[in-house]
Chains A and B, each alone.
Chain A
Amino acid sequence: MTVVQAPRRDDRTPAVPPRPTFRQRLSKWDVKFSPYVYIAPFFVVFGLVGLFPLLYTAYVSLYDWEIGDDEPPFVGFDNYVQLFGDGQFWNAVGNTLSIFVLSSGPQVVIAVLLAALLNTRLRGPTGWRIGILLPYAASLVAIGIIFANLFGNQYGLLNSILEMFGIDRIDWQAGTLSSHVAIATMVNWRWTGYNALIVLAAMQAIPKEINEAAVVDGAGPVRRFISVTLPLLRPTLIFVVITSTIGGLQIFTEPKLFDVGQGSNNGGSSNQFQTVTLYMYQQGFENFDLGYASAIAWVLFLLIVVIALVNFLITRRLAATEGGRR
């Protein structure tokens, strides 16, 4: 009763005080605007470091923009035209793709197999998982330096081992393929365990009944893995492949540190392991040609989008063999 009466009393005297108190109005504003305040920091930061740079990179790429220039001349698409005729750029693209294939391919395959091993009923499962994940904690720079040392020509451990077995030393830095293999090894060492855990999580989410049903149907472990587990892992595999594509195509730290000493932005004496990001860094912050570097950044961005898409389609196909009910 009182509940019904209360608003009526308000209606009769609209102008006189029992109107919302300051506290109540404050509370209303609180409900209305708080959410926007809470999400604002992200949008401010993203505007500053995500959206603005992406657009501004496009803008800068149309100028002959050098660090310290007050009025850089507008050159239109000249930077892009020059870029498409730039042998060193295409060489960098080739290196990046080569290193990417050498790292992502084995990485995903080994991660899936490793996850299968971890998915058994191990004693001390957490201990094994931590052990596998250990490289993830390492600093990229430290790892770059350590591996550059391991792969060193004269004093590297790997060459010492090769020699012990009577095999000739390999000048890892000097060769194109050998340097790519060495850099891919660093990448794989760091990320395989991490990806294995992600795949493992997806494996554990597969209902036991499905596997049991397959056992009843007489499927062996290998058959079960191919026909049951893999198709159900598809979304996770797509995720792993896409993230490793985005990371792999931007690779920078490893090739930069693989070349000991001065001129490390060259990626080796004949640019044999200079990646696109390394080339961009060299153009922008060694040669101070920010316009050209921005053009490189944009082409790299498009390249990443295209390759991520292609990978997405391939992975969906590959994992879509029979039983692809999901």
Chain B
Amino acid sequence: MTLTTSRPAPAARPKVAKLGRPNFFVYATLAVFVLGSLFPFYWSFLVASRDSGMLTERVPPLLPGGNFFANAVEVFDSVAFWKSMGNSILVATSVTLTTVLFSSLAGFAFAKLRFRGRDPLFVFIVVTLAVPTQLGVIPLFIAMSELGWAGGLQAVIVPNLVTAFGVFWMRQYTVDAVPYELVEAARVDGCSMIRIFWHVCLPAVRPAAAVLAMFTFMTSWNDFLWPLIVLDAGNPTVQLALEQLQSGYYTNYSLVLAGTTLATIPILIVFLLLGRQIVAGIMQGAVKG
């Protein structure tokens, strides 16, 4: 019934309705881009699943061979891959947990609590977004050496406990998601601040926290320069283990690309499972930022 009533609407302005209807060309172009997105992953798996002789063939094969597991086993033998996997999981998980917690707390304070200096302090945080952290690696390295942390995972975790982006992101979301009335009501009922945060604010900002968690996990998992500087070769993250695989005197590409495939699979699975939210998060952030 509703269908029939709503039908005349598009007919009323036919010209405009035609505006955004994609044709074959649009789909074809997008398909080319998606294939281009996929191709390097596929190529990496293709080489990883054959022996390195494949690369010397004039016309490379199109389908994977059966050597992937043999190559993967060799990867585990030649670098500390399990250890690096464990390190990366530990680092990325702890960084994600603290970033989400501290950012939500700070976001709650900036969005819903009144205190002296709130606005200037928030502006300060936004300005720090522009400071490239990469440039601080030298003094940071000196500091970590002084502390005796160089080589340990805490040297990778502590500098990333919370980010300006995280605070900014959670604040923007909290402003709309948590009504003042609710906070006031909870206060009148004698709730402590931390309980208000935990029971009123956090449930309301869960979607934004989830997006922040995914971003943080991916960024941390993929970090390269800082771990390269501060960690020892014997205690690598996954990215460092990959680099070690590649930088040997003799490069066996089947082995190296088996390594990249192994390191990509977990994050790719996460991405495909949560892709919808990640896309929504990026688009939402763009509108607000």
Scan A29-40; emit 1 where CB is below 8 A from any B CB, else 0.
011101110110
Contact B56 A155 (CB under 8 A): yes
- Selected interface stretch from B33-41, B67-75, B202-210: B33-41
B275 within 8 A of partner (CB): yes
A118 within 8 A of partner (CB): yes
Partner pick for A150 among B43, B110, B141, B160, CB 8 A cutoff: B43
Contact B16 A215 (CB under 8 A): yes
Q: Nearest chain B CB to A211's CB is how many angstroms away?
A: 7
B128 within 8 A of partner (CB): yes
Given known A56-B142, A139-B267, A201-B284, contact A39–B109 (CB-CB < 8 A) = yes
A97 within 8 A of partner (CB): no
Given known A150-B43, A261-B249, contact A277–B257 (CB-CB < 8 A) = no
Given known A53-B136, A117-B22, contact A145–B246 (CB-CB < 8 A) = yes
Contact residues of A with B, CB < 8 Å? 27, 30-32, 34-36, 38-39, 41-42, 45-46, 48-50, 52-54, 56-57, 59-60, 114, 117-122, 126, 128-143, 145-150, 152, 155, 157, 160, 163-164, 189, 193-194, 197-202, 204-205, 208, 211-212, 215, 236, 239, 246, 250, 252-253, 257, 260-262, 264, 277, 280-281, 284-285, 290, 293-294, 297-298, 300-301, 304, 308
Contact B134 A141 (CB under 8 A): no
B239 within 8 A of partner (CB): yes
Partner pick for B260 among A145, A277, A304, CB 8 A cutoff: A145
| Residues of B with C-beta under 8 A to A152 | 55
Scan B50-62; emit 1 where CB is below 8 A from any A CB, else 0.
0000011011100
| Residues of B with C-beta under 8 A to A120 | 20-22, 26
Given known A46-B164, A149-B47, A197-B283, contact A60–B30 (CB-CB < 8 A) = no
Q: Nearest chain A CB to B40's CB is how many angstroms away?
A: 5
Contact B40 A146 (CB under 8 A): yes
Contact A246 B130 (CB under 8 A): yes
Interface residues on B, range: 35 or more
Contact residues of B with A, CB < 8 Å? 13, 15-16, 19-22, 26-27, 29-30, 33-34, 36-38, 40-41, 43-44, 47, 55-56, 58-60, 98, 102-103, 105-106, 108-110, 113-115, 118, 121, 125, 128, 130-143, 158-162, 164, 167, 187, 190, 192-194, 197, 218, 221-222, 224-225, 229, 238-239, 242-243, 246-249, 251, 253, 256-257, 260, 263-264, 267-268, 270-272, 275-276, 278-279, 282-287, 289
Contact A215 B279 (CB under 8 A): no
| Residues of B with C-beta under 8 A to A285 | 141, 229
Contact A134 B37 (CB under 8 A): yes
Contact B247 A264 (CB under 8 A): yes
Given contacts A38-B105, A290-B142, 5 further A-B pairs with CB under 8 A are: A48-B143, A135-B37, A139-B238, A150-B43, A198-B286
Q: Nearest chain B CB to A25's CB is how many angstroms away?
A: 13
Contact A189 B193 (CB under 8 A): no
Which residue of chain B has the shortest Cβ distance to A212 in the bound complex?
A: B16
| Residues of A with C-beta under 8 A to B286 | 197-199, 201-202, 236, 239
| Residues of B with C-beta under 8 A to A160 | 58-60
User: What CA separation (Å) do A215 and B103 show in the bound complex?
Assistant: 45
Partner pick for B34 among A30, A132, A308, CB 8 A cutoff: A132
30 A-B contacts, Cβ less than 8 Å apart?
A34-B109, A35-B114, A39-B110, A41-B102, A41-B105, A41-B162, A48-B140, A53-B135, A53-B143, A57-B139, A59-B139, A60-B138, A118-B30, A120-B21, A128-B34, A131-B34, A139-B238, A143-B40, A149-B47, A160-B59, A189-B36, A198-B283, A211-B16, A250-B135, A262-B247, A262-B249, A284-B137, A293-B138, A294-B138, A308-B130
